[in-house]
Structure 1
Amino acid sequence: MRQFEWPMVSSGEVAVISGEVIVMLVLLGAFVGVAAGLFGIGGGGIFVPALSALFLNLGFPTEEIMHMALGTSMATIIATSTASAWAHHKRGGVIWPSWRAMTPGVFVGTFLATFLVAQLNAHALAVFFALFMSLVAWQMWFPLRVQSSSEPGRLELATAGGVIGAISALVSIGGGSLTVPYLHWRNHKLTDAIGTSAALGLPIAITGSLGYLVNGWQHTQLASGQLGFIYLPAVVVLTVASVLTAPLGVRLAHWLPVPILKKLFGLLIVVISVRMIWQVWQA
């Protein structure tokens, strides 16, 4: 097993991240930002495999790299989901009664799932993540186009919120790949389903980040940039880069063949997820 070394050096209580790592994180955040604007999806499918590879190469303990990748990715969703939710709200695209009904379940499901993550090893987490991303890719290739004849009640919405929150915490996503199809199936207009899903990403991100912080607290080393299972320098760089480049993706969506590119992107997340399994297993 390789010797563990922190990827930063500390001066007092100030962590100094290397320029090479900053460049990699900026490029990663920029790519995800463009993809988010272009396809209207979150960055967890790219962030988690990329961060796990980065943490592995930087010398983080092998048994913690998936937990760190999931926690760090989840923390980046806070800022992006806030901006997205506000944009949809201004356009009247958030169905707040549905959001309020789903949020209690989201809080419970997301927070409890982080405790499950803490008990699972990196291999199990990598396999579950790859399987889920394969389902997301399948949805990109063959999107569901059915709707029910009625709208859901509050109990169903709360239960759905709990399930969506739990799965979102396990794979570190904002829940859009689950919330949008569910709400659209349950008789919400697609634009309303997207807007409500964007707003629901905020409680998922906040609760999930808190859970990863609590469960990884014994590993916290602030001088090295780690807060629980969250790597703070990566959160800052990825958030800034992705938020700045997301508008470019939105503009590109108006003249690029998005349906074809979305299918290729679905294939990409499957490939990098499978590669992540191989890297984790070989570590």
Structure 2
Amino acid sequence: MGTGLDPSLLDGQTIAALIAGLAATGVISGILAGLLGVGGGIVIVPVLFWGLTLFGFSPAVISHLAVGTSLAVIIPTSISSMRAHNKRGNVDRSLLKLWGPTIFIGALIGGIMSKYIPGSGLRFVFGVVGILVAINMAIPKTLVISDHLPRSGWINRAIATVIGFISSLMGIGGGTLSVPTLSSFSFPVHRAVGTSSALGLLIALPGVAGFIWAGLEIAGRPPLSLGYVSLPAVAIIAPVSFLFAPLGARLAHALNPRYLKLAFAFFLAITAARMLLS
């Protein structure tokens, strides 16, 4: 089975640069996971996409590999971020019980559906949803739908399912959608970020299982890939991201909520636009 890899790019200096780049990605994604509750996927997906493109892998698998690998990295990162936020009392357990089951189901459906969605479709989802969310978070006053979450159980389940489904297809931890959604229902932003770090784990676990299944028989993947998950990339990014997530959580509690939202919007808009233009 061919990998689509250009052997001329595998000299020692290039490999060292690649490892350093992946480690740097882990630092940034870990900080952003703790800071914004996003699991770092807004950094990991574009970096892996452009890195795999540079190394000449098949365009048919690049987007799926970027998303699947990002979801795998999000698992330990979300655990680290969740623990840091939980120590500060910013993980809402009642919301986890309410949203958890259906956000898990939505993410599993997204992972399974990835087998039937082309790479351009994944990039389109990432780009369009990312830009819309960034605009909502950047405006001076975030759109407020209500002063409280809906009391209806089925409405909450529908919201959580959609968040899980789209987040899985984007390779993100859920904060990209859950933070602005909760903010629009007047949920405190620091508590929204902390709870989203826990929701990220419930998205990443079923999502990565779906991407592994979807890519098992696909040709053109890099060596040492498990389905649509690059194990070497996970091995480099995940430990670094895990270590730096608590730093992001500390920064989140030191920042003004307005600055927190602007930081979220800034990083998301840049990465979303570049994915659309790819």
**Residue in 2 aligned with 1:173?**
172
Cα deviations by residue, 1:22-64 (Å, 9 ceiling, x for unpaired): 1110122222233444555432112111111111112221111
**Residue in 2 aligned with 1:245?**
244
How many angstroms does 1:217 deviate by?
Answer: 1.5
Which residues of 2 match residues 1-283 of structure 1 at below 5 A? Answer: 4-5=4-5, 18-142=15-139, 144=142, 146=144, 147-149=146-148, 151-186=150-185, 188-219=187-218, 224-249=223-248, 263=262, 266-279=265-278
How many angstroms does 1:167 deviate by?
Answer: 0.9
Moved more, 51-60 or 258-267: 258-267
Does the 8 A contact of 1:29 with 1:242 survive in 2? yes
- Tell me the secondary structure at the aligned position of residue 217 of structure 2: helix
Equivalent-residue separation in structure 2 for 1:121 and 1:241 (angstroms): 30
Cα deviations by residue, 1:2-31 (Å, 9 ceiling, x for unpaired): 981288xxxxxxxxx933321110122222
- Tell me the secondary structure at the aligned position of residue 52 of structure 1: helix
Moved more, 25-34 or 64-73: 25-34
Moved more, 251-260 or 212-221: 251-260
- Which one-letter code corresponds to 1:215 in the other structure? A
Q: TM-score with structure 2 length normalisation?
A: 0.82
Cα deviations by residue, 1:54-110 (Å, 9 ceiling, x for unpaired): 111122211110000000111111011112222233333322232122122112211
Q: Percent identity?
A: 35
Equivalent pairs, count: 269
How many angstroms does 1:140 deviate by?
Answer: 3.2
- Which one-letter code corresponds to 1:27 in the other structure? A
Equivalent-residue separation in structure 2 for 1:260 and 1:88 (angstroms): 18
Measured at CA, do residues 144 and 221 of structure 1 come closer, stay the same or move farther in structure 2, by a change above 3 Å?
same
- Which one-letter code corresponds to 2:98 in the other structure? A
- Tell me the secondary structure at the aligned position of residue 60 of structure 1: coil
Q: In structure 1, list runs of 5 or more residues that go unmatched.
A: 8-16
Measured at CA, do residues 90 and 252 of structure 1 come closer, stay the same or move farther in structure 2, by a change above 3 Å?
closer
Moved more, 60-69 or 253-262: 253-262
Cα deviations by residue, 1:99-125 (Å, 9 ceiling, x for unpaired): 122122112211111232221222222
Cα deviations by residue, 1:235-268 (Å, 9 ceiling, x for unpaired): 1211122233344545666888995696476345
Equivalent-residue separation in structure 2 for 1:86 and 1:96 (angstroms): 13
Q: TM-score with structure 1 length normalisation?
A: 0.81
